[in-house]
């Protein structure tokens, strides 16, 4: 079997192979047994993997220290890395049968793993996993028909952060963050760019990120993914989306192609931190890390266009899921750990809302008084949204990760002027229909 570096083996094919390898492991192949191990003294070592940076790793380890104090005999071997290579790492692990016990899952791929029976249906283990303090609307975020293959690791939404210090320095008024339009954003951005002599660009919008596109598409009244799993965005809407990438680079609303280094996605690598950008979209659970990296106050606005569109585009989502591998050898202990992550106040106080607002409302209320101003701001933002009528959030359909890959490639071509917006729209629809099995 070729490794992941073998270009002849697609990620989807590897996932399929992974199930076969995992089955072989259960049949007796100790090398690919999956998950952690059991020692001669009866203690268990779980393997837990997630994505994030070193700061998230520190807080996660602090949470796990609390767990280990309360659960002697269960050790935890942890692994983490940046979000980009994490997807490939997961594919490789499942392909080789070396499955983790507990892992983060992405919303664009959880359906693919679930549909291949690679994940445990948590609904069958609610005698161990207590979900009574998780609102039904939150549980649905991880629901696939009648099954639940992931618990939201934390609630978040997309938000637009603005460096107030830079706005004041260049004398540009920040628009009302609750009611601003896309035109307001571009006007604000161009003024910053002009006032700074192009040393600082007013904003950046990542046209390749599906979650940004989802909001824009919803605002037109359409859905990126229909409830039946088909692709719902029209050619006109996608053309309008990619057209902004072209037109605003000409006017200074966006930086020139290649100006921003796209090699990393953590807070300490982006344009805000380098202070070559005055604003950008972030997931709200990153507000504290982003503020600390920038070193000044960031104003958290909603996404533009929420009051001018045909309907609301934003929704309350999850940054990631916690899932248990169906082939884990330590299902009971993995469930015990997952229940701790969901319900233990002391553990959640140790980790904080690095992955978003705790899914248990009881836990979220308990830790709130101990949080810093940025974490309180992100939680207040989510609480404010929760009182409004927003579109329902659900996992992306099978093929969602391939749609994300196609959007990344196409948006890059548009940014560098190698593809026109109308052609990009047609190509994304074609690629999406192919990925979703609707040729």
The token pair that represents 64 in the structure block:
């796990």
Cα 360 from Cα 256, distance rounded (Å): 43
- Exposure of 418 by Cβ count < 10 A (0-12 exposed, 13-18 middle, 19+ buried)? exposed
DSSP 3-state of 70: helix
135, 361 contact by CB (below 8 A): yes
Using the CB atoms, write b or e for 106-134: b if 16+ within 10 Å. bbbbbbbbbebebbbebbebeeebebebb
Q: State pLDDT tens for residues 25-52.
A: 333 322 233 566 667 677 899 999 999 8
Three-class HEC string of 136-154: HHHHHHHEECCEECCEECC
156, 353 contact by CB (below 8 A): no
Q: State pLDDT tens for residues 175-211.
A: 999 999 999 999 999 999 999 999 999 999 999 999 9
pTM for the model: 0.81
Do 37-154+320-379 and 158-316+394-436 show the same overall fold? yes
pLDDT of amino acid 5: 28
Q: State pLDDT tens for residues 368-387.
A: 999 999 999 999 999 889 88
Residue 252, φ and ψ in degrees, nearest 5: 95, 0
Cα 99 from Cα 335, distance rounded (Å): 16
Q: State pLDDT tens for residues 56-98.
A: 999 999 999 999 999 999 999 999 988 778 888 899 999 999 9
Q: Rg of the Cα trace of the chain?
A: 22
Q: Give the domain ranges of the chain.
A: 37-154+320-379, 158-316+394-436
pLDDT of amino acid 35: 63
Domain 158-316+394-436 has CATH 3.40.190.10: yes
- Mention the CATH class of domain 37-154+320-379: alpha beta
Over range 123-144, report the average pLDDT.
89
What ranges make up the beta strands (E) of 184-301?
Answer: 279-283, 298-301
Does the pLDDT value for residue 263 go beyond 50? no
Residues in CB range of 234: below 8 A, 6 or more apart: 220, 222
Residue 74 pairs in a beta bridge with: 44
pLDDT of amino acid 438: 66
């Amino acid at each position: 079997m070729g490794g992941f570096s073998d270009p002849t083996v697609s990620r989807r094919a590897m996932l399929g192979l992974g199930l076969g390898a995992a089955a072989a492991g259960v049949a007796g192949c100790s090398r690919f047994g999956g998950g952690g191990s059991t020692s001669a003294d009866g203690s268990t070592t779980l393997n837990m993997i997630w994505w994030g940076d070193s700061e998230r790793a520190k807080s996660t380890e602090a949470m796990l220290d609390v767990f280990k104090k309360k659960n002697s005999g269960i050790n935890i071997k942890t692994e983490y890395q940046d979000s980009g290579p994490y997807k490939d790492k997961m594919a490789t692990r499942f392909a080789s049968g070396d499955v983790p016990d507990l892992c983060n899952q992405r919303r664009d791929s959880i359906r693919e793993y679930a549909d291949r029976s690679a994940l445990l249906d948590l609904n069958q283990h609610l005698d161990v996993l207590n979900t009574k303090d998780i609102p039904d609307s939150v549980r649905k975020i991880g629901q696939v028909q009648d099954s639940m293959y992931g618990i939201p690791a934390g609630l978040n939404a997309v938000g637009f952060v603005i460096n107030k210090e830079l706005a004041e320095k260049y004398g540009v008024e920040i628009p009302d963050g609750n009611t601003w339009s896309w035109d307001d954003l571009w006007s604000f951005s161009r003024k910053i760019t002009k006032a700074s002599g192009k040393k600082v660009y007013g904003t950046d919008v990542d046209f390749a990120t599906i979650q940004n596109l989802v909001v824009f598409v919803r605002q037109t009244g359409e859905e990126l993914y229909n409830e039946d799993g088909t692709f719902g965005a029209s050619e006109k809407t996608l053309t309008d989306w990619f057209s902004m990438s072209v037109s605003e680079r000409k006017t200074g609303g966006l930086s020139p192609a290649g100006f921003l280094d796209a090699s990393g996605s953590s807070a300490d690598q982006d344009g805000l931190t380098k202070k070559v950008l005055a604003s950008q979209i972030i997931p709200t659970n990153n507000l504290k890390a982003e503020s600390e990296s920038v070193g000044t106050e960031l104003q958290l606005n909603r996404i533009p266009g929420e009051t001018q569109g045909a309907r609301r585009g934003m929704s309350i989502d999850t940054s990631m899921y916690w899932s248990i591998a169906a082939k884990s050898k330590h299902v009971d202990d993995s469930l015990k750990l997952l229940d701790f992550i969901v319900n233990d106040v002391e553990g959640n106080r140790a980790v904080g809302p690095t992955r978003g607002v705790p899914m248990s409302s009881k836990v979220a209320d308990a830790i709130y008084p101990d949080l810093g101003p940025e974490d309180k701001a992100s939680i207040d933002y989510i609480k404010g949204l929760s009182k409004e009528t927003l579109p329902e959030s659900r996992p992306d359909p099978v093929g969602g990760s391939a749609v994300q890959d196609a959007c990344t490639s196409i948006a890059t071509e548009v940014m560098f002027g190698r593809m026109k917006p109308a052609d990009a729209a047609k190509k994304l629809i074609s690629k999406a229909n192919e990925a979703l099995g609707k040729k």
